[in-house]
Amino acid sequence: MLELLQYEFMQNAFIAAVLVSVACGMVGTYVVVKKIVSISGGISHAAFGGIGLGYLIGINPIVAAIPFSIFSALSIGFINKRIKISEDTAIGILWTTGMALGIIFINLSPGYAPDLFSYLFGSILTVPDSDLTLMLILDIVIIIIVFLFNREFIAISFDEEFSKTIGIKVEPLYLLLLCLVALSVVVLIKVVGVILVIALLSIPAAISMQYTSSINKVMTFSVIIGLVLNILGLWLSYIFNLASGATIVIILGLTFIISSLITKYW
Amino acid sequence: MSDKALEIENLYVSINKSIILKDINLNLDKNDFLAIIGPNGGGKSTLLKTILNLIRPDKGNISVFGKNPKEALNIIGYLPQNTFFDLNFPINVFNVTLMGRYNGLFKNYTQNDRKAVINALDEVSMLEYKDRQISELSGGQMQRVFIARALAREPELLLLDEPTASVDPKMQKSFYELLLKLKEKMTIILVTHDVGVVCEYVDKIACLNHILFYHGIPEGSADAIGKTYNCPIDIIGHGIPHRVFKKHE
């Protein structure tokens, strides 16, 4: 396995796996305990609109996805609290509208979008240095926000009503949490693509929760589990010449099943 | 700090344009223990939430130890009627209680906060469970933890919304005895259906059905009121019959 690291694309892939694990472990823990998996799925699919916009105006699609996914996170949070439709419906609307916008933007952009597939399904083997730098910056932002607002995020995830009575501004913090999800979606797009992002945001935390009842430990375990499984998936995809994003997700899914069986019957 | 624990004047509250509370007036002294009884939908929980600044009144004044509800959040402990949470939430008893000490953004929990949590858990006899995951507790134990979470704030005013609803009858007695002990240190408002039992313990009683009838000290001896258990509403009567259930529209 080590000789693989001679190749530069492999080095980048490993760095990407590390960067992705940080985002998916930390933010994924909130996603799972706050039960916003579907909302996060909506945000990640809507981010495709940003990718299309990037093609249209000729900038790096990942960069264009940042404001776009933050905007969709804020609008879903806002619709959720202010307009009388069910959260479920809001997610459905955002999810599809975002993707549709992406398709139209790509239609409108001149020429052919060669690496479109990599944004849909991920391509950890082709992450350029510039994207790694962007992922690193986003990771740092995520770590800072988690460090500053961890207590509030835990409180609103556990019991929103009580959080209000102790003076926590629930609504802005909920929106901040959704923005955090939006940022991690952007970090993850290159590796697994918008369609599979939600696996990385939910499965590592779901596995960790089977082994500890401390949320901070869940976070640490999720980062480690994410890292190990991402690298395992990457390695297997290389050996068997399979799509890397899909292989990683299947490894995550299998590990979850095995882990569930172990904790249930051991 | 004002001597009056709670002063409510001409309070009107409406939710979605229907009036829930009408001209509420209420005064409590320090160390009072008040029970508010009344039918479902009569506005009991709404009154507590208004004191907690969760609902804005249409008009009227609320003052808690001389502070307005927004400033008073730090000195109010609250036990919600239902705490909806995921039983699988990865958190233990200690950390649930620690949330009661929350004191604003960017202020980490201190050693003092941890001490207050230990004391609060000790007070409700849950200290030995402090490392347990929350899902490993019974309904009554969980309720005690949520009371500890309210007590950890070291409140001057404790608001309890139907605290015995999820506690089995055998535990209720010890629960009320706990409240009698707490009363030495703080003012307590208890919202309940459980009229018969509550009269044995509280100092003051009020009925709330959109309008508040304040009865002061429960009339007659505790025994006499205890007998009213089946139909308490008539006995506390003051000329205006209360309805146990809302009138059909």
pLDDT digit string, tens, across residues B94-130? 999 999 999 889 988 999 999 999 999 999 989 999 9
Q: Could you give the number of structural domains in chain B?
A: 1
State residue B201's pLDDT score. 83
State residue B2's pLDDT score. 58
Sign of the CA dihedral A77, A79, A84, A87? negative
Average pLDDT of the residues of chain B? 82
As a whole number, mean pLDDT of residues B155-170 equals 84
Sign of the CA dihedral A154, B119, B172, B234? negative
Check if A215 contacts B (Cβ < 8 Å).
yes
Residue A62, pLDDT > 90, answer yes
pLDDT digit string, tens, across residues A64-78? 999 999 999 999 888
Residue B237, pLDDT > 50, answer no
Which of the residue ranges A133-137, B135-139, B171-175 would you say has the lowest mean pLDDT? B171-175
DSSP chain A: -GGGGGSHHHHHHHHHHHHHHHHHHHHHHHHHHTT-HHHHHHHHHHHHHHHHHHHHHTS-HHHHHHHHHHHHHHHHHHHHHHSSS-HHHHHHHHHHHHHHHHHHHHHHSSS--TTHHHHHH--GGG--HHHHHHHHHHHHHHHHHHHHHHHHHHHHHH-HHHHHHTT--HHHHHHHHHHHHHHHHHHHHHHHHHHHHHHHHHHHHHHHTTT-S-HHHHHHHHHHHHHHHHHHHHHHHHHHT--HHHHHHHHHHHHHHHHHHHHHH-
Q: How many angstroms separate the Cα of A87 from the Cα of each of A39, A71, A81, A83, A101?
A: 8, 17, 9, 10, 21
Check if B75 contacts A (Cβ < 8 Å).
no
Q: CATH number of the domain that B162 lies in?
A: 3.40.50.300
Please check whether residue B216 lies inside any domain of the structure: yes
Better pLDDT: B198 or A195:
A195
Say if the Cβ atoms of A151 and B85 lie within 8 Å: no
Residue A110, pLDDT > 70, answer yes
Say if the Cβ atoms of A217 and B90 lie within 8 Å: yes
Please check whether residue B172 lies inside any domain of the structure: yes
State residue B174's pLDDT score. 82
Average pLDDT of the residues of chain A? 92
Say if the Cβ atoms of A158 and B91 lie within 8 Å: yes
Please state the ipTM of this predicted complex.
Answer: 0.86
Which domains does chain A carry?
2-260 (1.10.3470.10)
Please check whether residue B169 lies inside any domain of the structure: yes
Structure tokens of A232? 């395992």
Please check whether residue B175 lies inside any domain of the structure: yes
Please check whether residue B47 lies inside any domain of the structure: yes
Residue B243, pLDDT > 50, answer no
Please check whether residue B93 lies inside any domain of the structure: no
Residue B241, pLDDT > 50, answer no
State residue B219's pLDDT score. 56
State residue A53's pLDDT score. 94
Best residue of B89, B136, B137, B154 to probe chain A, by most A CBs closer than 10 Å: B89
Residue B40, pLDDT > 60, answer yes
| Total number of residues shown for chain A | 266
State residue A117's pLDDT score. 85
Q: Where in the sequence is the domain holding B36, given as residue range(s)?
A: 4-86+157-235
Check if A189 contacts B (Cβ < 8 Å).
no
Q: Give percent of chain A with pLDDT exceeding 90.
A: 77
